[in-house]
Structure 1
Amino acid sequence: MAFDADDEILQDFLVEAGEILEKLSEQLVDLEQHPDDSDLLNAIFRGFHTVKGGAGFLQLDALVNCCHSAENVFDILRNHKRKVDSELMDVVLEALDNVNAMFEQVRNNEELTPAPDALIAALDALARPEAESASPATAPQQEQAKDDNPNEDGGDITDDEFEKLLDALHDDQPGEPSPPASPDAGAGKNGSSGDDEISDDEFEALLDQLHGKGQFAGTPAEDEIPGKEDEKQPPKTETGGSDDLITDDEFEKLLDDLHGKGGSPTIGGQPAAQPKTEKPKAEPPKAEKPKEEPKPADKPGTKDSVAPAMPAREHAPAAETTVRVDTKRLDDIMNMVGELVLVRNRLQRLGAASEDEHMHKAVSNLDVVTTDLQSAVMQTRMQPIKKVFGRFPRVVRDLARSLKKEVNLVMHGEETDLDKNLVEALSDPLVHLVRNSVDHGIEAPDVREKAGKPRQGTVTLSAEQEGDHILLSIDDDGAGMDPEVLRRKAVEKGIYDQDAADRLTNTECYNLIFAAGFSTKDQISDVSGRGVGMDVVKTKIGQLNGQLSVESAMGKGSRIIIKVPLTLAIMPTLMIMLGDQSFALPLVNVVEIFHLDLTKTNIVDGRECIVVREKVFPLFHVKRWLVRDKGSREVPANAHVVIVAMGTKQVGFVVDQLVGQEEVVIKPLGRALQGTPGMAGATITGDGRIALIIDVPSLLQHYG
């Protein structure tokens, strides 16, 4: 491996190839649904070819070999010599897995593990045309030339192939006068460097035989231009004289005739063959005429006519509008912005207490600038959720094949942006949820048919921004959840006794799927049945200060909704006072706030409750949990109640005082306080004091 190569080149390869490989996974699954999409076939061919080219430059031979074999398969497919089927896609996807594995080894500076020989052999077998799909109209000599070079990139032909083609054409037409180039042709076959060129007459005769006599003769306007004879004096290339130039379309057609439709190197993104490169040299006067005609001032001299081309060269470097920045540096900048937010909060508190008008204006301006800076820095950390969504077509495809189900994945809102750390953190929970929808939600094709549904089930993955939060939903049109089955399983697992299970609402039953060790599957498989996946999802979403909710309808399907904040660094909170201590409640958990006469509470099942708009909320005096109360425990007549939500549950917290809404920067707790139940971290308030940030689910789980 050439890891001694320039590190900047290696990093460029990792960035470019990483993006291409992410797209390839999605494109390959899409190709299975649309096997005749020629644009998609060409895009996949170019993807493998580009990765191969970068790997070849870095001398990553194992990666080059695997990409090359996969590339050959798509060269055959895009030339319509083989059809896409599931077995072919299985082999190609396995090849992509090996390419991804080697790519990770390159990223980690490890020795590459070559793809298995059996896989390469399978790819090479698929890179040959199917017997029944070979075109009978193709000349045997052309087929032989193609078979001799199955790995040729982009459809280019070698000198030997071209000589064979000329010989075959001349042999097939004995009536034509043989050009006096046979010695030269023979010399070319022997490898002579200077004698393998063909004359103008030979090339003209070849074109005439392929396309009809006289189609490529120079136009009279070109032949009559004085000085054209002088231009023919330099040594000719394979295209012949400059007055015999052919257009791009004509050259493409010639290559199609030689190699079959789609074999043109330009389709695969490759450089054109030598005859095309000669064209720009022979045509500078034609290229300049349009520039000279609209500008009369440019006519006096040749210098003026060349001048307009110069600014384009000067501005060319400006096309690079991006710069690579280490994510650690972005994290450092975000931390500094967080500190600036704290200083702004402090100054706002001091400014409110001051009567100086200039002080008020300065603090107001600082507030505006800090908010804009915070927004700009957050944008630099934002990534489209497509980074996560891109892996799901492959996940659904593989899982559906293993379960013998027919599943279509639909994705919406892939361009929705959220914090880089959230993109990475959401990856595993979403994989669990999508797999769960395919495994538990979507029924087998026969079962769906009996229920009057289409054989193919649909899983819909969508994302949208709602204020300072992201809403993610996973829908399926499967069988839905049966609350009675969930109640029975809860009793069997010992989560609830029978009486408590009978009192559960349907929504509470649906949320049982997130309980640790809970599973509705009777048999454990490599896909599900152990009851750990959904528990992990709930824990992870809770760590992100997010919420989970479940909706379902028997026979129609289920929906799981995730609500997470846009960023983890700065959190909007509701500041409250318990005694003389400050606490911060994440605003995402707060539903409503009201003032209440606590003498009008009720006792239900031994727990204090309040009734608001005919809804019953359990009431908790969090001051008794979090503050060492030296005074009496008498309940005050009036208090503030904050209704907080965790998923579908809502409870009331009794607090002494409401300070107001404030954006806070989350700081981790010190070693002595780490793991304290109900605490998510700490922050510095606007008045300079330290406030603990309450983790509502953890607080209720521990104390409630």
Structure 2
Amino acid sequence: MALDADEEILQDFLVEAGEILEKLSEQLVDLEQNPDDSDLLNAIFRGFHTVKGGAGFLQLDALVNCCHSAENVFDILRNHKRKVDSELMDVVLEALDHVNAMFEQVRHHEEPTPAPEELIAALDALAQPAGEPAPANAAVASEEQNGSDEAGSGDDGGDITDDEFERLLDALEEEKSSAPDSSGDANESSSGDGGSGDDISDDEFEALLDQLHGKGQFSGPPESGKAAPDSQDTSAAKVAGDEASDSKGGDDLISDDEFEKLLDDLHGKGGSPTAETAKSTPPPAAKQPAAKSVDAKTDKSPQPAGKPEKAPAENGKAGVTPAMPARDANAPVAETSVRVDTKRLDDIMNMVGELVLVRNRLQRLGAQSEDEHMHKAVSNLDVVTTDLQSAVMATRMQPIKKVFGRFPRVVRDLARSLKKEINLEMHGEETDLDKNLVEALSDPLVHLVRNSVDHGIEAPDVREKAGKPRQGRVTLSAEQEGDHILLSIEDDGAGMDPDVLRRKAVEKGIYEQDAADRLTNTECYNLIFAAGFSTKEQISDVSGRGVGMDVVKTKISQLNGQLSVESELGKGSRIVIKVPLTLAIMPTLMIMLGDQSFALPLVNVVEIFHLDLSKKNIVDGRECIVVRDKVFPLFHIKRWLVKGAAGQPEPENAHVVIVAMGTRRVGFVVDQLIGQEEVVIKPLGRALQGTPGMAGATITGDGRIALIIDVPSLLQNYGK
């Protein structure tokens, strides 16, 4: 590896290759479902080829070799010489894993570890047409493939390299010195225009291209009555082609529009003009006779009306000359994006947070003032601050696709190991949310998806007996709802049996039998998030230890999110996650407990009402209230959070805030409601870090410090 390579070039490679490798994992799984998709095959081929090219420039030989072997497999596949099957995909996906591992090593400026020789040999065996024996020596086969790749690099796209051009000149000198007499006239005719000296003429250059690569795509069929030229008689064939071109078309060249139409007929619309032009060069003549290639192409691609004789004039130039106008047409334009360090974005977000606090303070002061100009200024500041806050938050937003992109591979590998047939559907992949949330949601979603595949979807035979299709379905979706994101994982599997969950809860000592019998179905479903709870009879490497779902609940709670579970026995299950768009600035409900202010995250607040506390009830030794025929436990959080409040007499009337944690709802008794306010979360100082029930602190609009309540932690520590 070129460890002294320009850091900017290395970073460009890491960005480009990283995006390609993220797509490849999803594309490969999609290819297994649609093995005849030629566009997908070409896209995967180009992906490996692009990564190989960038790695070759940086002298990352281990990465180049693995990508080259994988690229050869897809070259065979897209030429329909082999079929896509699960065994082939297992090998290719293993190769992609090694490519990703090497890529991470390069990211950390380490020398990449080469892929195992057995894997390269397996790829080389798959790079042979179906039915042909694998090469006995993988190293020899790799060298031959490297040689053919260099000779036929026009197929892969890109311009001719300096080394290839030097070899062309050397070949010309050898041809001049050792050409047989039968081709002497051709040499004289080709060198007559160029004159003597070191300059090479256009005709000589075209003859060299024909000798290396065979006839061009548009050279036309061989003349009637004459045998097709083989790969060792290119000089005579060139003369014949030139004579035919001169006698029919003269110097009238094909127009740009006609040439573009020919490329569209051959390769379809779109793509880089340079890449499409380079692809028109056929494989080396040693592997495929030029005449055969020409016949196959000319039969499929109709010539422009009125000028069928002009295609031979473009022979050879199809691989080189037309690339010049393409570069002129795609002249460099001003860059529209820049790369910014995420730390700088975090610093800007922190400054915007401070600005929000100042805005809140000014709004409170402005409300106390009767100056009309002050009101207008504060109002304008509010608008500008809100717009700035939205713009900065947008710079931190990333599509949830960055998380979703890994799941096709996860589901595919897990389904193969469990011998299940599963189709993964994804919706709302372009939904944006804060980059910190994107990273934080990755592990919980992996647990939930694996749980759906392992616990939810039944085996194919079981599904058939139940009247279901053999192939199960897992649906992963995301959508924005106000200032929150809703993520759902749904399956059409067996669903959950509440009675089984009740029995397991009693066996594990989570509930007594009487309490378990009183649980609603929804409360039973939420038991899956209890620590150590699992319905699996046997522990496997996938599930059974009752750890994964507990981790999910803890992580979502840390993100100020909520979890809810829906299920129907025999129909399937659905888990919904609700998380805020960002963690930096939080809308809250400001409350007063005594003379101290606290902030309740608005995401937890369901409703607020004034209550006559004399109408409360006692159930199982706990205070409860009945609202619209629903019973809610009642907690006086002032007794927990304010010193000396435990012995004070209770008021007859109070405000009650109903808060939610997943499907559970409780009532908090508070002294006073201040109103809604956006706050910036500040971490607690060292002396207060880890305080149960506290998520952080903030500065209120009146300049006081308010603690932000962590509702799940508060109830867990005080509500027993």
TM-score when normalising by structure 2: 0.80
**What amino acid is aligned across from residue 392 of structure 1 in structure 2?**
F
1:582 aligns with 2:600: no
Deviation at 1:633, TM superposition (A): 2.5
Corresponding position of 1:557: 572
Matches within 5 A, 1:306-321: 316-318=332-334, 320-321=335-336
1:72 aligns with 2:48: no
Deviation by residue 1:290-317 (Cα, 9 ceiling, x = unmatched):
xxxxxxxxxxxxxxxxxxx99x89x843
Q: Which of 437, 448, 451 pairs up with 1:433?
A: 448
Is the 8 Å Cα contact of residues 184 and 196 (structure 1) preserved in structure 2? Answer: no
2-structure distance, mates of 1:200, 1:444:
58
1:276 aligns with 2:318: yes
1:442 aligns with 2:457: yes
2-structure distance, mates of 1:610, 1:662:
28
Deviation by residue 1:432-480 (Cα, 9 ceiling, x = unmatched):
0000000000000000000000000000000000000000000000000
Deviation at 1:360, TM superposition (A): 0.6
Is the 8 Å Cα contact of residues 642 and 654 (structure 1) preserved in structure 2? Answer: yes
1:405 aligns with 2:423: no
2-structure distance, mates of 1:74, 1:154:
17
1-structure distance, mates of 2:261, 2:24:
36
Corresponding position of 2:37: 37
Deviation by residue 1:107-142 (Cα, 9 ceiling, x = unmatched):
1112211100000000011111113799xxxxxxxx
Corresponding position of 2:93: 93
1:647 aligns with 2:659: no
Corresponding position of 2:53: 53
1-structure distance, mates of 2:527, 2:521:
10
**What amino acid is aligned across from residue 69 of structure 1 in structure 2?**
S
Deviation at 1:178, TM superposition (A): 6.8
> CA separation of 1:453/1:183 partners in 2, compared to 1, >3 Å: closer, same or farther?
same
Matches within 5 A, 1:197-276: 198=207, 207=219, 209-210=221-222, 218=245, 223=250, 248=263, 255=282, 258=290, 275-276=317-318
Is the 8 Å Cα contact of residues 219 and 315 (structure 2) preserved in structure 1? Answer: no
Is the 8 Å Cα contact of residues 639 and 645 (structure 2) preserved in structure 1? Answer: no
Deviation by residue 1:540-565 (Cα, 9 ceiling, x = unmatched):
00000000010000000000000000
Corresponding position of 2:372: 357
Corresponding position of 1:537: 552
**What amino acid is aligned across from residue 104 of structure 1 in structure 2?**
E
Corresponding position of 1:306: none
1-structure distance, mates of 2:468, 2:28:
27
**What amino acid is aligned across from residue 418 of structure 1 in structure 2?**
L
SS at match of 1:28: helix
Corresponding position of 2:15: 15
Corresponding position of 1:484: 499
Q: Which of 437, 440, 451 pairs up with 1:422?
A: 437
1-structure distance, mates of 2:622, 2:522:
22
Is the 8 Å Cα contact of residues 181 and 199 (structure 1) preserved in structure 2? Answer: no
Deviation at 1:279, TM superposition (A): 3.9
**What amino acid is aligned across from residue 451 of structure 2 in structure 1?**
N
Is the 8 Å Cα contact of residues 281 and 319 (structure 2) preserved in structure 1? Answer: no
Deviation at 1:323, TM superposition (A): 0.2
Q: Percent identity?
A: 78
> CA separation of 1:212/1:684 partners in 2, compared to 1, >3 Å: closer, same or farther?
farther
Deviation by residue 1:638-674 (Cα, 9 ceiling, x = unmatched):
1100000000000000000000000000001111111
Matches within 5 A, 1:658-697: 658-697=673-712
1-structure distance, mates of 2:12, 2:119:
29
SS at match of 2:333: helix
Is the 8 Å Cα contact of residues 392 and 431 (structure 1) preserved in structure 2? Answer: yes
> CA separation of 1:218/1:409 partners in 2, compared to 1, >3 Å: closer, same or farther?
same
Is the 8 Å Cα contact of residues 179 and 201 (structure 1) preserved in structure 2? Answer: no
2-structure distance, mates of 1:200, 1:441:
60
Q: Which of 511, 534, 558 pairs up with 2:526?
A: 511
Matches within 5 A, 1:116-135: 116-131=116-131
Is the 8 Å Cα contact of residues 469 and 563 (structure 1) preserved in structure 2? Answer: yes
SS at match of 1:25: helix
Deviation at 1:3, TM superposition (A): 2.2
> CA separation of 1:655/1:444 partners in 2, compared to 1, >3 Å: closer, same or farther?
same
SS at match of 1:473: strand
Corresponding position of 1:267: none
2-structure distance, mates of 1:338, 1:405:
49
Deviation by residue 1:366-425 (Cα, 9 ceiling, x = unmatched):
000000000000000000000000000000000000000000000000000000000000
SS at match of 1:478: coil
**What amino acid is aligned across from residue 567 of structure 2 in structure 1?**
S
Is the 8 Å Cα contact of residues 55 and 61 (structure 2) preserved in structure 1? Answer: yes
**What amino acid is aligned across from residue 30 of structure 2 in structure 1?**
D
Is the 8 Å Cα contact of residues 457 and 477 (structure 1) preserved in structure 2? Answer: yes
1:475 aligns with 2:490: yes
SS at match of 1:677: coil
SS at match of 1:81: coil
1:373 aligns with 2:400: no
Deviation at 1:275, TM superposition (A): 2.3
2-structure distance, mates of 1:415, 1:605:
48
> CA separation of 1:212/1:602 partners in 2, compared to 1, >3 Å: closer, same or farther?
farther
> CA separation of 1:515/1:278 partners in 2, compared to 1, >3 Å: closer, same or farther?
closer
2-structure distance, mates of 1:366, 1:49:
53
TM-score when normalising by structure 1: 0.82
**What amino acid is aligned across from residue 89 of structure 1 in structure 2?**
M
Corresponding position of 2:272: none
Deviation at 1:223, TM superposition (A): 3.1
SS at match of 2:112: coil
1-structure distance, mates of 2:260, 2:712:
76
Q: What is the count of residue pairs matched by the alignment?
A: 623
Deviation at 1:201, TM superposition (A): 13
**What amino acid is aligned across from residue 650 of structure 1 in structure 2?**
R
1-structure distance, mates of 2:678, 2:563:
23
> CA separation of 1:397/1:280 partners in 2, compared to 1, >3 Å: closer, same or farther?
closer
Deviation by residue 1:9-56 (Cα, 9 ceiling, x = unmatched):
111111100000000000000000000000000000000000011111
> CA separation of 1:201/1:671 partners in 2, compared to 1, >3 Å: closer, same or farther?
closer
Is the 8 Å Cα contact of residues 566 and 575 (structure 2) preserved in structure 1? Answer: yes
Corresponding position of 2:361: 346
Is the 8 Å Cα contact of residues 218 and 245 (structure 1) preserved in structure 2? Answer: no
1-structure distance, mates of 2:98, 2:396:
30
Unpaired runs of at least 5, structure 1: 135-144, 163-176, 229-238, 265-271, 288-308
Corresponding position of 1:628: 643
2-structure distance, mates of 1:409, 1:607:
46
Corresponding position of 1:609: 624
Bigger Cα displacement from structure 2, 527-536 vs 193-202: 193-202
Is the 8 Å Cα contact of residues 639 and 646 (structure 2) preserved in structure 1? Answer: no
**What amino acid is aligned across from residue 647 of structure 1 in structure 2?**
G
